[in-house]
Structure 1
Amino acid sequence: MPSALFVSTGVIALAEIGDKTQLLAFLLASRSKKPIPIIIGITLATLINHGLAGAVGGWITANINPEKLRWILGASFIAMAAWTLIPDKIENEETQLATKLGVFGATFVTFFLTEMGDKTQIATVAMSAHYNDVLMVVAGTTLGILIADVPAVFAGDKLATKIQMKLVHRIAAAMFAALGIATLFGIGSPCHRSPQYSPS
């Protein structure tokens, strides 16, 4: 479903700007000056992390009553909108592995761990359940991460100072809120018509 790919790409690309993982990309790039292994590490870590999140979303779609799912997802998207407005910060502990592993290893491990429970991972779960299209959503969320983080790796802090973070976060929050409202009203979500659910 094209809309699943496009919406998940756009929402995650905006939500990722100023997120902990983008801040981590800035930091790793400034320390190592080796963009290629960092980008490969980001890509693999995101694919695995969001693949797991997408699988959870698919399981939710198949096992939760569509009517209950509509309210759960609607509330989740609205909560994501509020969460997106809260600025992130990176902790020193989250980059300490860089001295013990290579650039690729440090990037892969720190990105995977930082994404656990992060807003973009939770959003992947919600959108996978909303669209009932795990492959397209995971492809979109991974692409969104790369759209936001690859320029961060190459441009570093110079790019960060030119981005109006508050405006970007407000746009991302508005998109999450719109998804939440659409879900509550049953608009554009094929999972609500899915015959997969069985109460047995």
Structure 2
Amino acid sequence: MEAFLVSTGVVALAEIGDKTQLLAFVLAARFRKPWPIIAGIFAATIFNHTAAGALGAWLMHVIGPDVLRWILGLSFIGMAAWTLIPDTLDDKDAQAKKHWGVFGTTLVAFFLAEMGDKTQFATIALAAKYAAPVEVVLGTTLGMMIANVPAVFLGDKLLSRVPMRLVHIVAAGLFAVLGVLTLGGVGARFGF
């Protein structure tokens, strides 16, 4: 349960102001059809994070626990720094293929935008840390939906009222704490 809850919280916070959330705003403004956009976000996230979770689980078995602890700890600290850097949305991320429809456009755009994104790396690291890829993928997917569904429905109204810098600082703090705890071996003492 801890893997699910931590994954949900970390990704929900990290996703605020992320390029995929900006993409959700763009798609909502362009198409004004929230349900196919939400379905596309969900499907893209499931595909992307399942692959990331599988990679994290594989790493857990391939790399020794001491080396993995250092890699994960430093990765979480790196994600803390990365979270403080504001994202921008490239034009290529927002381009739509009209013949794909709203769902198809959202699915492809989100899947591609999420490749190499901090939430994808967080999913890999969390799956390796907790050795519970299903719980992590479910949690990171829920975190993505918590951050992006309001973006689809509320658009710019929400963005203008959320103190983005504060949210990024809190998310960075969570990543940093996870990194320090992982480096300190705290998780090993509790069986994860």
> Is 1:101 matched up with 2:86?
no
Deviation at 1:98, TM superposition (A): 4.0
Rounded Cα–Cα distance in structure 1 between residues aligned with 2:188 and 2:145: 26
8 Å CA contact retained: 1:130, 1:189:
no
Q: Which residue of 2 aligns with 1:198?
A: none
Rounded Cα–Cα distance in structure 2 between residues aligned with 1:20 and 1:98: 19
Q: Which residue of 1 aligns with 2:56?
A: 57
Equivalent AA in structure 2 for residue 103 of structure 1: V
| More off after superposition, 89-98 vs 141-150 | 89-98
Deviation at 1:107, TM superposition (A): 0.1
Q: Which residue of 2 aligns with 1:116?
A: 115
Q: Which residue of 2 aligns with 1:22?
A: 21
Deviation at 1:188, TM superposition (A): 2.1
Q: Give secondary structure in 2 for the equivalent of 1:161.
A: helix
Q: Which residue of 2 aligns with 1:72?
A: 71
Q: What is the percent sequence identity of the aligned residues?
A: 59
Which structure 2 residues correspond to residues 119-138 of structure 1 after superposition, within 5 A? 119-138=118-137
Equivalent AA in structure 1 for residue 146 of structure 2: I
Equivalent AA in structure 2 for residue 64 of structure 1: I
The count of corresponding residues between Structure 1 and Structure 2 is 192
Q: Which runs of 5+ in 1 are unaligned?
A: 195-200
Deviation at 1:27, TM superposition (A): 0.4
Deviation at 1:193, TM superposition (A): 6.1
Rounded Cα–Cα distance in structure 2 between residues aligned with 1:50 and 1:86: 22
Compute the TM-score of the two structures, normalised by the length of structure 1: 0.93
> Is 1:8 matched up with 2:7?
yes
Rounded Cα–Cα distance in structure 2 between residues aligned with 1:13 and 1:22: 10
Compute the TM-score of the two structures, normalised by the length of structure 2: 0.97
